[in-house]
Amino acid sequence: MAHTTDSRDANDVALGTDVGGTFTDILALDLKGGRILSSAKVLSTPQDPSNAAVAGVDRLTEGTPWRAGAVFHGTTVGTNTLIQGRAALTTLVTTEGFRDVLALRRQARPRLYDLEAVVSPPLVPRERRLEVRQRMAPDGAVTVPLEADEIARVVAELEELSVESVAICLLHAYANDDHEKALGEAIGKALPDAFVSLSSDVCREFREFERTSTVTVNAYIGPPVRDYLVRFREQLAERAIPRLSIVKSNGGLTSAANAEKYPVHLIESGPAAGVIAAAALGASEGMEDLIAFDMGGTTAKVGVVVGGQPRLSTEFHASRFVDGRDVGGYPIKSPVIDLIEIGAGGGSIARLDAFGVLKVGPESAGAEPGPACYGRGGVSPTVTDAHVALGHISADGFGSEDLDIQPGPARAAIESQVAGPLGWTVERSAWGVLTLANANMAEMVRLATLRRGLDPRDFTLVAFGGAGPLHATEIAREVAVPRVVVPPYPGLFSAIGTVLGDIRHDLVQTLLKRTDELERADVQAAFAGLEERARKLLAEEDLAPGHGAPVLDRYADLRFEGQMFEITLVLEGPEALAADALDATFRGAYVRDYGYDLPEHAVELVNLRLVATVPIWDGGWPTTGADNPSKHRQAARRRKRQVFHPDGRAFDIDVIPRYTLSAGERIDGPAIVEDFGATIRILDGQVAEVRASGTLVIEG
């Protein structure tokens, strides 16, 4: 595809793209100038998400005076593959006697008091779980050697099976990976087309079930994710775009080549980008404690930023649903931005259950056919249809070129499936749908804050996603959050987040020793091994010329001997690696967190962690065009639109195009502000102020 050029080098422009359940968002960022050049929103293509992403690239780059050198991509391919259960035919190879670890689990119920609890089936059935005679001790000593004829036997069994992917997880391989490497090499030679995944490569951490689950998920989703990324890279190469970087669950970026090897690190790729963007916006606005609220077409998600940093977890469960019920999912030991997600989006379907009770979600109309108001064949009433019926959303389809909103089908769907059977008006039914959706999302915010010891009154709610600003002000009132911030381009916010992260790799090594038995040389040797792994990963990154030097941050997980859970501490400086320093640092942190020490109990080192980052973007929050061209100022600043109360009474409300707002301007609610990709509702009694950056701050 031909492009005209200007003074910008190709490395100066990057495209950020986020694939959602309903829309795929894309924008172009001038990396040197720090300005968003253009943006687009296209309907997602669930059968192959790369089709929509490529369509967005074409729409954005056609006829432009600049050429893009990279695409930064937030994807849900790994998540969808796991949820749908349609992935690779996987075989697990494990130590003799540990064949059933995947099935035995931790014997924890998804819901404690559910007498009919159903748990997700193992990703690998028992007949495809092979045992190998060998054994390692927890310190890495070989207790049963792995013989050549045993390797040959396992390889022969695999050759008789239909194998697309192989997960190898041997007992205590985190301490000594020699046996896993020998098996992996032999299997790779015999089955060159198979995706082979080693636990010592994916998750070098103790706890056998979690490690087995992590490497199995990696192998299970590996081939579909790899094929998707290869196909996407080829399509970008045809358009002279040489680099593709993927957002990881920890909010960092990695090359497509690394992502193909470790797809388990991409499970929360798309949602993580939104939290990274929220942290960057907060830093530019002087707000450090934030609740990132992302509501799109299919789901709603909440992440928390404390002190300017997104909260991370070292383990999470990838959800699995059967007949709409959460059946526990699969534990994954991998750093991830701490998120809570529910099936509540603009496409969430409203229905009456068997008892005639109104329910909303988690089923979604998605992009195909979408809500009834899209006029694309959808007949089920959704949250978006409720907003359309009440007059909250205009007919221009959020600014999307592919969409025209049709109020008639929206009202008809609500009438036939909710209002008629209940004997309600369409307006009362629509408000009922929104009230239920808001209640579910308010509880999600409470889970992310109150139930984790955080007071929502100390936070600011950052609302984004296509539907987030429609609901944020009501949710904030429900949970007593005093302030709502709506960034520029809220419907494209996660796409902005894809270009704001650093290249990042989180590495871990279990080193299970009491501090009074620990030698400093042991810690130094373990970190040296982690640094070598980091160098190999960074060598696989597609870094543009002139990138910054890698930054290496060290951490340690410690606990009192006998405890089940650890505290992660930052290790600053060489002196922090000494055993007595680790002991003192942990005890001080324990007193801060729990109020007391246990002087008679020994402190135990569990894991060492290394976070390797390479800064890509250091320009703060990008300029998003708060100063608008004068031609826009000539447009009507305000107009009136009819909206409805729950009792069906109509009233007129101010509708304001966001591009007409000036810095310092104030808006008294009730009002509606229309933005590209999103609609912002300001409630009665609330006041919105426009900041110089274009950010809208709503209080009251």
Q: Which of 226, 250, 282 is the last residue of a domain?
A: 226
Kindly state the percentage of the chain with pLDDT values over 70.
92
Give the helix/strand (H/E) hosting 65. none
Q: Per-residue pLDDT averaged across 384-392, rounded?
A: 94
Which of 579, 614, 649 terminates a domain? The answer is: 614
Q: Torsion-angle region of residue 678: left (phi > 0), alpha (psi -120 to 50) or beta?
A: beta
Do 250 and 265 form a contact (C-beta atoms < 8 A)?
A: yes
What's the average model confidence in pLDDT over 249-277?
91
Interval 18-37: pLDDT, tens: 887 777 889 999 888 888 88
- In this model, does residue 93 exceed pLDDT 80? yes
What is the per-residue pLDDT for 632? Answer: 38
Domain of residue 653: give its range: 639-699
41 within domain boundaries: no
For residues 226 and 256, the answer to whether their CB atoms sit within 8 Å is no
Mean pLDDT for the stretch of residues 135-143: 94
Residue 398 pLDDT = 53
573 is a domain residue: yes
What's 358's DSSP letter?
A: E
pLDDT for residue 634 is more than 70: no
| Predicted confidence (pLDDT) at residue 694 exceeds the cutoff of 50 | yes
pLDDT of residue 569: 94
pLDDT digits (tens, 9 = 90+) for 445-484: 999 999 888 999 999 999 998 899 999 999 999 999 999 9
Residues 521 and 568 in one domain: yes
pLDDT at 545: 61
**657 falls within a domain:** yes
Q: Are residues 109 and 185 in the same domain?
A: yes
Q: For the chain, what is the domain count?
A: 3
Band of pLDDT at residue 319, cut at 50, 70 and 90: low
Predicted pLDDT at 627: 37
User: Is 415 a member of any domain?
Assistant: no
Q: How far apart are CA 191 and CA 184, in angstroms?
A: 10
Residue 90 sits in the same domain as residue 205: yes
Judgement on whether residues 598 and 661 belong to the same structural domain of the protein: no
Going by pLDDT thresholds of 50, 70 and 90, the confidence category of residue 296 is confident
Whether residue 15 is predicted with pLDDT greater than 80 in this model: the reply is yes
Phi, psi of 683 (to 5 degrees): -85, 165
Domain end among 198, 226, 254: 226
Question: pLDDT value at position 1?
Answer: 34
Task: Name the region of 353 (left: φ>0; alpha: ψ -120 to 50; beta: rest).
Answer: beta
Please state the three-class secondary structure of 558-613 as a single string. EEECCCCCCEEEEECCHHHHCHHHHHHHHHHHHHHHHCCCCCCCCEEEEEEEEEEE
Task: Give the model's pLDDT for residue 646.
Answer: 83
**Are 86 and 209 members of one domain?**
yes
Residues 643, 610, single domain; the answer is no
Closest by CA to 695, choosing from 491, 462, 471, is: 462
Q: Are residues 87 and 222 in the same domain?
A: yes
Whether 685 is covered by a domain: the verdict is yes
DSSP 382: B
Domain shared by 605 and 666, yes or no: no
Give the CATH number for residue 570: 3.30.1490
Question: Are 87 and 183 part of one and the same domain?
Answer: yes
The mean pLDDT of 522-550, rounded to a whole number, is 87
User: Does 610 reside within a domain?
Assistant: yes
Q: Quick check: is 599 in a domain? A: yes
- Greatest mean pLDDT among 206-220, 305-319, 324-338, 357-371 lies in 206-220
- Local confidence band at 401 (pLDDT 50, 70, 90 cut-offs): low
What is the chain's mean pLDDT, rounded? 88
11 located within any domain: no
Same domain? For 207 and 144 the reply is yes
Q: Calculate the alpha carbon distances from 231 to 228, 286, 479 in Å.
A: 5, 41, 44
Q: Residue 460: what pLDDT? A: 97
Q: Encoding tokens for residue 629?
A: 């061209």
Residue-level pLDDT at 482: 96
**Banded pLDDT at 628 (limits 50, 70, 90):** very low
Helix locations, 32-162, DSSP H: 49-61, 77-84, 101-104, 148-160
Question: Average of pLDDT values for 655-663?
Answer: 90
Residue with tokens 């059946």: 327
Question: Do residue 99 and residue 213 come from a single domain?
Answer: yes
In degrees rounded to 5, what are phi and psi of residue 380?
-90, 140
Cα Rg of the chain (Å, integer)? 26
SS3 call for 412: helix
Same domain, 87 and 212: yes
